[in-house]
Structure 1
Amino acid sequence: MKTKGDQQLVRRINRSVLLRLVRAQPGLSRARLAAESGLTKSTVSLLVRELLDEGWLDEAGASVGDGMGRPSTPLHINVGVRALVGVEIAIEVLRVVCVSLQGDVLHSDAQPLADHTPAVVCAQVARMVAAAHRHLLASGLRLSGIGVGVPGAVHDATGVVRFAPNLGWRDVDLLPRLSRALAREKVPDVAVQLQNDADAAVLGEFEFSDGEGEDPLIFVSCDVGVGAGIVLNDRLFIGAQGMAGEIGHTVLQVDGPRCSCGRLGCAEAFISSRALEQAGGDTVRAARYLGVLLQNLWVTFEPRAIVVGGKSCEAHPEFLRGAIDTVAHYAQSAGLVPPVIRSPRYGAWTPSVGAAALALHEYLRPVRTDAQARRVRPAGAESLA
């Protein structure tokens, strides 16, 4: 019986519960936290003191009396101590952002991707992250975690990029290479997270929304590749081997045009940015295909909202509007109300901001397997706790 380990996990869970409550309801007092969480007042007092000392919480604002005893002090997420870095490795560009614990973008940088070779990509990422870290230091902020999104399927337990056809990657053990590159650039040894870019993007929309967020929530990326990230029951849904959400390689037309993966008739062959360029900018047919794809996601997951972004939408505003009209037509035919379908809050920076949200998401929902915990915290790395 691992009593010590069990107690540490319970402590992490209790801390995460308090943080989530304060993020959802800024200004809660210790007494209200105890009432909302079901934890004892003494436990809440102890954990709040830890979170204050570590820079997660702040006692900002005047004390408030409730007529039942001494005044209580409202608690807020402290945005003046800790910050996160998010990286998007896209097909043609690298994007790096610094993000506050509340989702405010503090710094951003984008550079053309120099090469698709993993070693070259890691070196370029490390240089950009080192520059972002210098920005945080100049602002008096502490780097608390790094998230990286890649355009392919990531095996969650190992961090191996299983399949990224548009980069030419298959079974690339990226995380150790990236950790070594960051160390060479003298980036602090913090936890590094690696995930599919659409999975990261949906976490940014989920974690940095107002209140508790939308659940279920789906993010669809229509870029050079096409993918989806899914939040289901308060967690990122990745499937058995990290392949969930690879909707770009679902077949929309039997014997259709050839896709980058080798199949015929994949969604990517109709609605990716490359497909739209090859079609000469004619988005009417492509919008119908996107609408069919969104309708299929709707009836499969019944999400509260579907967020759609990427180069295809940015270059062709009518593309998403046409897809929404297609979904509305299907809904009317069935006598149903469709989910909200909208653009992302962070525009082109959504995957990189979402990558920054990876570390926060894992900290706020700490129940993981031992293998996963080892993956996200390289040897010697500072824990978010």
Structure 2
Amino acid sequence: MKTTGDQQLVKRINRSVLLRQLRAQPGLSRAQLATESGLTKSTVSLLVRELIDEGWVTETDVTTTQSQGRPSTPLHIDTRSRGLIGVEVAVEALRVVGVSLTGQVLCAAEEALNGTKPEDVCRQAARLIARTYKQLQQRNIEALGVGVGLPGAFDEATGMLRFAPNLGWRNVDLMPPIAEALAKAKLPELKVHLQNEADTAALSEYEFSDGDAKDSLIFVTCGVGVGAGIVLNDRLFTGVQGMAGEIGHNILQIDGPLCSCGRRGCAETFFGARTLAKLPDPTQGGHYLGVVLQNLWTTFNPSTLVVGGPSCDTYPGIVKAAQDTLQRYADAAGMAAPTVRPARYGLLASAVGAAALVLHHELRPMHTGTPLAAARQADSEPLSHTTTTTAD
């Protein structure tokens, strides 16, 4: 396949190919990586050396013997040298985690929001990020970047948070106050990526899954707000203005209960946390959650549906009720229902996924979105000529 780019871009693509191959098949040797990736042995050897020196990849002390009788050294993603920092800005709290490149949670912190003004939230988040950065440093782990999950529609093209009704935010550019807060916290320059918190939750399951996600997954997060993170064809599906997955504001009943967004009959009014707290039997809300899962299934046909968030932690019965409702729809259609399971990371899902957002961008150098950095620097030199993605 031909693509426009320079040699630096080709190198980034080839590095990402090797890293993704080792994530999928830990323990491959250099020769096996060359076979699996289609790159030449000399290219693989050079890139693996760089990845080891930069703390991405590590060699084991044990050598194995290949079929030709030559010894080889297994390679693995390095869990000791590089780390990621993830932040979830929830409606009522901040959660910050430090994780390894394979998704192991190394440290975590949670605080109630001190205020809801964007500048106040950014200052509080920067303080927790600085604390997490120091905790990683104490383990001799270098932070690769920071991901932030936000409770509303995030427009990746413009960097604007378009719509966060539960915080009263509309059309907020969060990057300047985040950059300022990180600088005042005396942190070194770090890449910063922003995304909707349901999208980041989806990445916690997709990037750090054990293989059941394949190339598609939908994560439904249930709390004060309700949202869905959608991964299709190995990419986050966010829509033109970041509104994809705002299922909390899908209309389930014409002229239904008034929602915080100003409309009536939104899904959030049937199984949002405020509604569940008022129901005599909160599992009643699980029926409506099941209806939404059925709609997501027939719309996107994902390999896996994951349900998580504070409401699932407080009222675990709603997940079972949703599964039962989805199964009834599947039975009526004579079809096998998709896998539905709870979140692996529990209440840390969005924060862990925000950390995974950094990795998600690093491993996809051809991603159309430009990574946002604290200093707003371009991530690579301008593209200048045509070459092939597998050139050596």
Report the Cα offset of residue 139 of structure 1: 1.0
Retained in 1: the 8 A contact 2:178–2:374? no
**Aligned in 2, Cα 1:326/1:213: closer, same or farther, shift over 3 Å?**
closer
Q: Which amino acid letter does the alignment assign opposite residue 341 of structure 1?
A: V
Q: Distance in 2 between matches of 1:335 and 1:4?
A: 47
Q: 1:344 — aligned with what? A: 343
Q: Which amino acid letter does the alignment assign opposite residue 155 of structure 2?
A: H
Which contiguous aligned blocks of 4+ residues in structure 1 show a shift greater than 4 angstroms? 380-383
Q: Which amino acid letter does the alignment assign opposite residue 347 of structure 1?
A: G
Report the Cα offset of residue 14 of structure 1: 0.8
**Aligned in 2, Cα 1:119/1:63: closer, same or farther, shift over 3 Å?**
same
- 3-state SS of 1:242 partner: coil
- 3-state SS of 1:245 partner: coil
Alignment of 1:157-236 (within 5 A): 157-211=157-211, 213-236=213-236
Alignment of 1:1-385 (within 5 A): 5-211=5-211, 213-280=213-280, 282-369=281-368, 372-373=369-370, 375-376=372-373, 378-379=375-376
Q: Distance in 1 between matches of 2:148 and 2:110?
A: 14
Report the Cα offset of residue 6 of structure 1: 2.2
Q: Which runs of 5+ in 2 are unaligned?
A: 381-392
Q: Judge which range, 155-164 or 373-382, deviates more.
A: 373-382
Report the Cα offset of residue 310 of structure 1: 1.2
- 3-state SS of 1:230 partner: strand
Q: Which amino acid letter does the alignment assign opposite residue 288 of structure 1?
A: H
Q: Which amino acid letter does the alignment assign opposite residue 236 of structure 2?
A: L
Q: Distance in 1 between matches of 2:236 and 2:298?
A: 19
Alpha-carbon deviations, 1:192-236, whole Å to 9, x = none? 000000000000100001248433100001111000000100111
**Aligned in 2, Cα 1:257/1:354: closer, same or farther, shift over 3 Å?**
same
**Aligned in 2, Cα 1:67/1:335: closer, same or farther, shift over 3 Å?**
closer
Question: How many residues are matched?
Answer: 378
- 3-state SS of 1:338 partner: coil
TM-score by length of 1: 0.95
Alpha-carbon deviations, 1:283-311, whole Å to 9, x = none? 24311111110000000011111000112
Q: Which amino acid letter does the alignment assign opposite residue 199 of structure 1?
A: D
Report the Cα offset of residue 135 of structure 1: 0.5
**Aligned in 2, Cα 1:243/1:376: closer, same or farther, shift over 3 Å?**
farther
Q: Distance in 2 between matches of 1:382 and 1:58?
A: 25
Q: Which amino acid letter does the alignment assign opposite residue 331 of structure 2?
A: Q
Q: Which runs of 5+ in 1 are unaligned?
A: none
**Aligned in 2, Cα 1:86/1:381: closer, same or farther, shift over 3 Å?**
farther
- 3-state SS of 1:128 partner: helix
Q: Which has the higher contact order (CA 8 A, sep 6+)?
A: 2
TM-score by length of 2: 0.93
Report the Cα offset of residue 65 of structure 1: 1.1
RMSD: 1.6
Q: Distance in 1 between matches of 2:379 and 2:245?
A: 31
Retained in 2: the 8 A contact 1:150–1:195? yes
Q: Which amino acid letter does the alignment assign opposite residue 349 of structure 1?
A: L
Q: Which amino acid letter does the alignment assign opposite residue 47 of structure 1?
A: L
Q: Which amino acid letter does the alignment assign opposite residue 366 of structure 1?
A: P
Identity of aligned residues (%): 58
Retained in 2: the 8 A contact 1:216–1:303? yes
